[in-house]
C-alpha cells in the first residue's frame, strides 16, 4: 500500500477533469480525493503500487478531450486509510502565495447534450442552456478562480433537486459540471421588442416567424450579441447593411449543419474539422458556382468568392437554426467599428436602431468575446482572428518570462497578451483602439485577465508607435505604478510572434509584409526583411519607399498609392486622372512634391493598393485590406504565366527592392487592356519572386536557412502557399502562422516573445 499526491497543472478546470479522476480512481480501487486548487488540480490517491502506477499512466496518457496537462508533480505521503474516493470542494486560494490556474475557453455543445436537446423524453428537451462537463460556457461566464459555480455568472441560479442529483452523482456525465441547469432552475430566454417589452408566445417560433418575414433580430450568444437575418433574403440583407452602417464587408452566415453549408460552399476535410472545432469559428469557404436552393444572397458577401460560415455553438443557436430551416446572417452585434454588445441594457440601447426583436436571456456574459475567424490553406489552418473558444488557451513561449509581462499589442485588430513563465496568454480580439468604446474594453479586459489568470505584470511591452492607444496605456500605467516598459518595433513583433508559435529561438530571416507599422527611422514600414532573433533584428531589406500621400487617407483611397508609385516610376498618371479627376490628382501631386502630410512608406499592403488602382479594380476602399483581398480573389481566377520583374539594389549592408519595374509592367498590361485578373496574378508571382530572391541573397550573406512569414499580407493564401513552396524548394525551412493571426492580432504575442527573450538574456 502507498499514498501519493499528484498536483496537475494546465487546462484542468471546467473540462470534466475531477469526474474523470474519480472514475479512474474507482476503476483502480484507489481511495483518497481530488479537488481544484489555485494551482490546478490536486489528487491524493492510496492503493496498491501497481494500481497507482496504472492510474498515473492513464491520468497523464489519456486525459479528458478538452484538457491540457502542462506538468504534474508527484510526492509520496504516509498511508491514511481513507474509506473511499471523494471530490472535495475547492480551496479558494487563501494563503497561497501564487495562483496559477487555467480558465478553459468556451466549448461548443457536445453530441451527447445535442441528442438530449432534441429528445422529447429528456427532461432538458429544447432547453437552450443544456451543458455538461464537456461543453458549455467557460471564460465568458467566469468571475474568479478557482473555477466553480459560485465564481461564474451561474451563481445566481440555485440548482433544483434533479440537477443537484446529477451534479453529485459520480456516475453521471454532469457530475460536477459547474454551469448545469434545467428549465426548472436555470436561465430562461425572453423575446423582447425593440422597446424592451416582452413579446408573448413561444420565443423561438415567434422569432423565426419574424426572421422569415424579413425582420432583423439581435440574438444573445456566448460572448455577445449577434445581429441575425434571413441570409437568403436579399432585401433584408441590404437593410441590415444600411442599419449597421456597413458598406461591403462580408457578413458571416450560420448554417444548421456542415451538410447544409456544403450546399452553398465547397468544404474539404481540414475545413470540416475547423467548422466543427469546439471554438466554432467563422471559417472562410469557397462559394459554389451554382449553389443549392437555400443559398445565401449575393449581398451577404458582395463580389466575394468566399463565404464566412459557422455552425451553431450553443443549444440556443441549435434550436434557432432547427426552427429556421435556412441559413441566417450572424454578424457581430454592433454598429460598424464599435465593439460587440454583450450587456443586456447596452445591447437594447445600442442595437434598438438596428434590431426589430431581441432574443435574450438572464445568464450574464462576463467576458465579451467576438467570433473567431479562420481559414484553411491546403489542409492547414491560417487564423484570421483568434477569439471566442480559443482565448485564453496559452501559446508556449520559446523563452520563459523572467518576470510577469503584459504586452499591449498594436492599434488595429488589437489583442493583448499576458506572459508568465513559458505561457503566453493571448486575449480574444479587442478591436480597433481608435474607437473609444474599444479602448475602454481594452482597459477593462486587461484588468479582468490579470485577475482571472492572477498575473501582476512587472513589465509592460508596447509598440514603437507613440500615438497608439495601447502605447499610451502602457506608458501611463507604467509611470503610475512604477513598472518597466519596453518598446518593440511593429514588424519585429510580427516576426517574433511567428517564431514564438514554432518555438524558434535561433536567428531567422523574417519576412514581414503588412499595411503599416512605425519604423525605427520614423518612416512607415510594411515590406520588411528582418534578420535576427526574438531579441533583436537587423533591417536587411525592404521595399523601395514611396510617398504615402495623406497618411490614413491614402489607406482609404488606393488611387493615391497608385499615383505615388506612378510618379516614383516616372510614369504618366493619365489613367488615374481620367477616373478621379485632374484636380484631385493635381492636389495630391502637389502634396507629394512638397512632402505635406506625406510620410515615406515601404509598405507591401500599400503596394497591393497601388496595383489594385492601376489594374482598375478599385480607387476607394471601405476597410483596410479590401483592395488586397480583391486582388487575391482575382488572382485565383487565372493560372500563373509569369511575374513582373524587380531589381535588388544594395545600399550599405541593406538591400532595397526596386518596385519600379513591377509598376511599369503592370501599367503596360493595363494599357494593353489585359484583365485585372491577369495583372493581379502576375503581381502575386512578382511578390513571391521578391520573397524568394531576397531570402536567397540574405542566406548567402548570413548563412541563415530559416524563414518566417508574418504580417497581414500573409493572410493571402495564394501568396503564402507560393512563397512557402518556392522557399522549401530552395532549401529553406519555412514557418507560417498556425495559431495566431499573421495580422496585427498576433502582435501582442510577438511583443511578449521579444520581452521574454530580452529579459532572460540581458
Ligand atoms: Zn455536453
Ligand atoms: Zn434544474
Ligand atoms: Fe502589422
Instruction: Report pLDDT for 91.
Output: 54
Question: What phi-psi label fits residue 688: left (phi over 0), alpha (psi between -120 and 50 degrees) or beta?
Answer: alpha
User: Going by C-beta distance under 8 Å and a sequence separation of 6 or more, which residues neighbour residue 498?
Assistant: 510, 708, 709, 710, 735, 736, 737, 742, 746, 750
Q: Where are the domains of the chain?
A: 2-87, 103-186, 189-361
Instruction: Report pLDDT for 89.
Output: 67
Which ligand sits closest to the CA of 715?
Answer: 3
- Classify burial at 237, counting beta carbons within 10 Å of its beta carbon; exposed 0-12, middle 13-18, buried 19 or more: buried
- Report residue 257 as a C-alpha cell: 449543419
Ranges of the chain whose pLDDT falls below 70: 89-102, 759-762
SS3 291: coil
Which ligand sits closest to the CA of 183?
Answer: 2
Treating both helix axes as pointing N-terminal to C-terminal, what angle do 203-212 and 315-324 enclose, rounded to 10 degrees?
A: 50
**Whether 177 contacts 16, CB under 8 Å:** yes
Sign of CA dihedral 288, 290, 292, 297: positive
Taking alpha carbons only, the member of 743, 745, 748, 490 closest to residue 629 is 743
Q: Rounded to the nearest whole angstrom, what is the distance from the C-alpha of residue 107 to the centroid of ligand 1?
A: 9
Angle at CA 609, nearest 5°, toward 286 and 739? 50
Angle at CA 673, nearest 5°, toward 672 and 679? 95
Per CATH, 103-186 and 189-361 having the same topology is answered: yes
Q: Rounded to the nearest whole angstrom, what is the distance from the C-alpha of residue 369 to the centroid of ligand 3?
A: 22
Q: Does domain 2-87 have CATH number 3.40.50.920?
A: no
**Whether 85 contacts 30, CB under 8 Å:** yes
Q: Rounded to the nearest whole angstrom, what is the distance from the C-alpha of residue 516 to the centroid of ligand 3?
A: 6
Q: Rounded to the nearest whole angstrom, what is the distance from the C-alpha of residue 105 to the centroid of ligand 2?
A: 24
Q: Rounded to the nearest whole angstrom, what is the distance from the C-alpha of residue 220 to the centroid of ligand 1?
A: 19
Which ligand sits closest to the CA of 64?
Answer: 1
| CB hemisphere CA count around 742 (13 angstroms) | 27
Instruction: Report pLDDT for 452.
Output: 85
Q: Which helix (H) or strand (E) holds 424?
A: strand 417-426
Which ligand sits closest to the CA of 713?
Answer: 3
Q: Rounded to the nearest whole angstrom, what is the distance from the C-alpha of residue 217 to the centroid of ligand 2?
A: 29
State how far the Cα of 303 lies from the Cα of 561, in Å rounded to an integer. 23
- Helical segments of 83-233, H only: 111-117, 161-168, 203-212
State how far the Cα of 384 lies from the Cα of 739, in Å rounded to an integer. 10
Which ligand sits closest to the CA of 130?
Answer: 1
Which ligand sits closest to the CA of 468?
Answer: 3
State how far the Cα of 74 lies from the Cα of 14, in Å rounded to an integer. 22
Q: Rounded to the nearest whole angstrom, what is the distance from the C-alpha of residue 239 to the centroid of ligand 1?
A: 37
Q: Rounded to the nearest whole angstrom, what is the distance from the C-alpha of residue 243 to the centroid of ligand 3?
A: 30
Q: Rounded to the nearest whole angstrom, what is the distance from the C-alpha of residue 494 to the centroid of ligand 3?
A: 7
User: What residues sit around ligand 1, an ion, with C-beta below 5 angstroms?
Assistant: 110, 113, 132, 134-135
Peptide bond into 146 cis (omega under 30): yes
Q: Rounded to the nearest whole angstrom, what is the distance from the C-alpha of residue 109 to the centroid of ligand 1?
A: 5
State how far the Cα of 200 lies from the Cα of 202, in Å rounded to an integer. 7
Q: Rounded to the nearest whole angstrom, what is the distance from the C-alpha of residue 513 to the centroid of ligand 3?
A: 8
Which ligand sits closest to the CA of 124?
Answer: 2
Strand order in the sheet with 68-77: 68-77, 2-11, 40-47, 31-37, 85-87
pLDDT (tens digit per residue) in 706-730: 999 999 999 999 999 999 999 999 9
Radius of gyration for the alpha carbons in the chain, expressed in angstroms and rounded: 27
Q: Which CATH architecture has domain 189-361?
A: Alpha-Beta Complex (3.90)
What length is written for the chain? 762
Fold of 103-186: DHBP synthase (3.90.870)
Instruction: Report pLDDT for 759.
Output: 60
Q: Which residue has the cell 498575473?
A: 455
User: What residues sit around ligand 3, an ion, with C-beta below 5 angstroms?
Assistant: 514, 744
Which ligand sits closest to the CA of 133?
Answer: 1
Angle at CA 472, nearest 5°, toward 471 and 477? 105
- Report residue 506 as a C-alpha cell: 535561433
Q: Rounded to the nearest whole angstrom, what is the distance from the C-alpha of residue 129 to the centroid of ligand 2?
A: 11
**Whether 11 contacts 102, CB under 8 Å:** yes
Which ligand sits closest to the CA of 494?
Answer: 3
pLDDT (tens digit per residue) in 559-600: 999 999 999 999 999 999 999 999 999 999 999 999 999 999
Amino acid at each position: 500500500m502507498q499514498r501519493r499526491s499528484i498536483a496537475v497543472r494546465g487546462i484542468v478546470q471546467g473540462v470534466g477533469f475531477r469526474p474523470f479522476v474519480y472514475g479512474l480512481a474507482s476503476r483502480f480501487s484507489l481511495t483518497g480525493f481530488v479537488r481544484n486548487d489555485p494551482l490546478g488540480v490536486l489528487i491524493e490517491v492510496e492503493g496498491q503500487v501497481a494500481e497507482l502506477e496504472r492510474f498515473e499512466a492513464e491520468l497523464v496518457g489519456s486525459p479528458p478531450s478538452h484538457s491540457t496537462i502542462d506538468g504534474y508533480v508527484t510526492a509520496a505521503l504516509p498511508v491514511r486509510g481513507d474509506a473511499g474516493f471523494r471530490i472535495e470542494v475547492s480551496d479558494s486560494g487563501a494563503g497561497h502565495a501564487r495562483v496559477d490556474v487555467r480558465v478553459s475557453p468556451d466549448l461548443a455543445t457536445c453530441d451527447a447534450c445535442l441528442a438530449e436537446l432534441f429528445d422529447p423524453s429528456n427532461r432538458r428537451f429544447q432547453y437552450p442552456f443544456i451543458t455538461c462537463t464537456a461543453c458549455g460556457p467557460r471564460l465568458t461566464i467566469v468571475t474568479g478562480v478557482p473555477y466553480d459555480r459560485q465564481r461564474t455568472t451561474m451563481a445566481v441560479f440555485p440548482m433544483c433537486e434533479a440537477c443537484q442529483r446529477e451534479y453529485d452523482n459520480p456516475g453521471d456525465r454532469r457530475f460536477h459540471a459547474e454551469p448545469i441547469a434545467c428549465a426548472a432552475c436555470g436561465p430562461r430566454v425572453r423575446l423582447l421588442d425593440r422597446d424592451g417589452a416582452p413579446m408573448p408566445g413561444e420565443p423561438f417560433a415567434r422569432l423565426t416567424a419574424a426572421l422569415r418575414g424579413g425582420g432583423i433580430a439581435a440574438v444573445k450568444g456566448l460572448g455577445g450579441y449577434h445581429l441575425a437575418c434571413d441570409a437568403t433574403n436579399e432585401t433584408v440583407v441590404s437593410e441590415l447593411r444600411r442599419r449597421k452602417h456597413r458598406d461591403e464587408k462580408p457578413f458571416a452566415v450560420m448554417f444548421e449543419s456542415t451538410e447544409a453549408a456544403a450546399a452553398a460552399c465547397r468544404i474539404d476535410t481540414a475545413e470540416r474539422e475547423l467548422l466543427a472545432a469546439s471554438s466554432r469559428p467563422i471559417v472562410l469557404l469557397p462559394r459554389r458556382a451554382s449553389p443549392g436552393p437555400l443559398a445565401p444572397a449575393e449581398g451577404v458577401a458582395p463580389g466575394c468568392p468566399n463565404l464566412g460560415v459557422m455552425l451553431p455553438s450553443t443549444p440556443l443557436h441549435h434550436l434557432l437554426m432547427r426552427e429556421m430551416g435556412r441559413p441566417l446572417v450572424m454578424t457581430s452585434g454592433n454598429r460598424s467599428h464599435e465593439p460587440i454588445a454583450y450587456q443586456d441594457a447596452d445591447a437594447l440601447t445600442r442595437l434598438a436602431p438596428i434590431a426589430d426583436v431581441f432574443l435574450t436571456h438572464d445568464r450574464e456574459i462576463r467576458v465579451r468575446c467576438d467570433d473567431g475567424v479562420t481559414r484553411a490553406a491546403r489542409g492547414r489552418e491560417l487564423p484570421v482572428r483568434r477569439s471566442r473558444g480559443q482565448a485564453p488557451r496559452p501559446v508556449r513561449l520559446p523563452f520563459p518570462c523572467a518576470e510577469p509581462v503584459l504586452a499591449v499589442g498594436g492599434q488595429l485588430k488589437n489583442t493583448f497578451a499576458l506572459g508568465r513563465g513559458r505561457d503566453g496568454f493571448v486575449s480574444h480580439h479587442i478591436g480597433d483602439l481608435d474607437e473609444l468604446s474599444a479602448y475602454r474594453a481594452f482597459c477593462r479586459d486587461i484588468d479582468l485577465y490579470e485577475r482571472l489568470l492572477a498575473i501582476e505584470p512587472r513589465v509592460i511591452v508596447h509598440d514603437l508607435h507613440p500615438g497608439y492607444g495601447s502605447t499610451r496605456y502602457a506608458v501611463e500605467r507604467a509611470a503610475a505604478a512604477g513598472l518597466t516598459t519596453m518598446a518593440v518595433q511593429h514588424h519585429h513583433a510580427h516576426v517574433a510572434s511567428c517564431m514564438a508559435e514554432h518555438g524558434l529561438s535561433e536567428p531567422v530571416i523574417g519576412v514581414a509584409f503588412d499595411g503599416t507599422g512605425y519604423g525605427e527611422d520614423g518612416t512607415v514600414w510594411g515590406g520588411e526583411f528582418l534578420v535576427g532573433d526574438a531579441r533583436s533584428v537587423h533591417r536587411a531589406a525592404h521595399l523601395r519607399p514611396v510617398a504615402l500621400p495623406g497618411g490614413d487617407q491614402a489607406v482609404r483611397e488606393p488611387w493615391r498609392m497608385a499615383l505615388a508609385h506612378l510618379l516614383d516610376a516616372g510614369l504618366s498618371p493619365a489613367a488615374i486622372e481620367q477616373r478621379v479627376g485632374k484636380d484631385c490628382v493635381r492636389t495630391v501631386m502637389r502634396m507629394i512634391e512638397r512632402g505635406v502630410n506625406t510620410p515615406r512608406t515601404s509598405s507591401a499592403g500599400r503596394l497591393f493598393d497601388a496595383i489594385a488602382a492601376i489594374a482598375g479594380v478599385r480607387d476607394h476602399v471601405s476597410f483596410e485590406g479590401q483592395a488586397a483581398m480583391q486582388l487575391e480573389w482575382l488572382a485565383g481566377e487565372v493560372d500563373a504565366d509569369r511575374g513582373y520583374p524587380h531589381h535588388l539594389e544594395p545600399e550599405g549592408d541593406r538591400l532595397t527592392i526596386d518596385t519600379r519595374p513591377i509598376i511599369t509592367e503592370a501599367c503596360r498590361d493595363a494599357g494593353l487592356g489585359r484583365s485585372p485578373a491577369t495583372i493581379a496574378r502576375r503581381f502575386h508571382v512578382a511578390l513571391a519572386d521578391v520573397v524568394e530572391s531576397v531570402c536567397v541573397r540574405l542566406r548567402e550573406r548570413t548563412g541563415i536557412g530559416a524563414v518566417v512569414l508574418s504580417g497581414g499580407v500573409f493572410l493571402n493564401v495564394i501568396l503564402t502557399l507560393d512563397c512557402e513552396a518556392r522557399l522549401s524548394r530552395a532549401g529553406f525551412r519555412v514557418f507560417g502562422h498556425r495559431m495566431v493571426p499573421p495580422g496585427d492580432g498576433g502582435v501582442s504575442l510577438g511583443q511578449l516573445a521579444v520581452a521574454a527573450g530580452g529579459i532572460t538574456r540581458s
